[in-house]
Amino acid sequence: MKIIIHWLIISGAVYGLAYFLPDISVSPWWVALIVGAVLYFIHSLVKPIIKILTLPITLVTFGMFSIALNLFFFWFPSYIIEGFEISTWKALFIGAVAISLVNWLADKITDK
């Protein structure tokens, strides 16, 4: 149940970002559910492994590399999923920060 709630929270955030930022588009509404599933998979399985592997680079750059990872993890679904597009770097940055905050909040809500 916690997985479904977290997935729906992320999907709602993606759909909300597409509503408030004109440079992010989600063409049919159900694409937001697919993007949410991909982002949840990245957040729960891929990101912890990548963070451990890139810890030396993150320490050398004083944490700035983790921002680059968040940007990449938000951009990647737009590259592989048809119907989810991010047009500008500004939208990518705002979206990555928003999704990171939503993931943190969803972790707190679902007691992960």
List of residues 6+ apart from 5 with CB closer than 8 A: 106, 109, 110
Per-residue pLDDT, 77: 95
Per-residue pLDDT, 110: 87
Per-residue pLDDT, 112: 57
Domains of the chain, residue spans: 2-110
List of residues 6+ apart from 109 with CB closer than 8 A: 5, 6, 9
List of residues 6+ apart from 33 with CB closer than 8 A: 7, 11
Per-residue pLDDT, 8: 95
Per-residue pLDDT, 34: 96
pLDDT tens by residue, 26-37: 989 999 999 999
pLDDT tens by residue, 60-73: 999 999 999 999 99
Mark the ranges of the chain whose per-residue pLDDT is less than 50. none
Residue 61, amino acid = T
